[in-house]
Amino acid sequence: MEGNTMDDNRKLIYDLFGRIIPQKVSSVELGYGTFILIGFGKNITIEIPRSNEVKKIFRPEWHFWTDMCKWELKMENEILVSSEDDKKRIQKALTKLENKKLMRIELLNDAYDMNLMFENEIILHLISDNSEEDNEQWELFTPEKRVLIAGSLSHLSYNYSSQPAN
């Protein structure tokens, strides 16, 4: 975030993720392409104003997206699947995350590469793609309708979300 040091950004990331540790994964799905959506906590209703109506959707109170980053899902230090694999293989492997507790996270560098460590020695390893300035690596949506976005080139933002996750 502008004006913040890398230590400030690291603290914010650990503080926010600390609020969902050790919650269980309440939903996991493969989104567009190789995006992964992981929900934590109870489902809440989100109202989206449309031109003539209000659309209601249900989402977990916390949700995490992988975006423009590569990733690997590991179990007991063996790679089960990666973002480069076949969609059906990815979907099957993602079921390993269902109802698993997030035990801790580990930031690996200033590009926000990260490990999300779940029970049963399951790790989601995120690898940044710093090829373009405006790529969002991953996003964490909070119950307060805010979103923490790790972007490329060590950019981090934490603002109110203009839209809920779809």
State pLDDT tens for residues 77-118.
899 999 999 999 999 999 999 999 999 999 999 889 999 999
User: Does 10 reside within a domain?
Assistant: yes
pTM attached to this predicted model: 0.88
State how far the Cα of 97 lies from the Cα of 80, in Å rounded to an integer. 12
User: Does 73 reside within a domain?
Assistant: yes
State pLDDT tens for residues 134-154.
678 899 999 988 999 998 777
| Per-residue confidence (pLDDT) for residue 164, from 0 to 100 | 44
State how far the Cα of 94 lies from the Cα of 101, in Å rounded to an integer. 14
User: Does 1 reside within a domain?
Assistant: no
User: Does 90 reside within a domain?
Assistant: yes
Q: Which domain holds residue 129?
A: 6-160
User: Does 86 reside within a domain?
Assistant: yes
Give the helix, strand, coil percentages of the chain, each rounded to 5. Answer: 15, 50, 35
User: Does 114 reside within a domain?
Assistant: yes
Number of domains in the chain: 1
| Per-residue confidence (pLDDT) for residue 151, from 0 to 100 | 84
C-alpha distances (whole Å) from 72 to each of 34, 83, 136, 153 are 11, 6, 17, 21
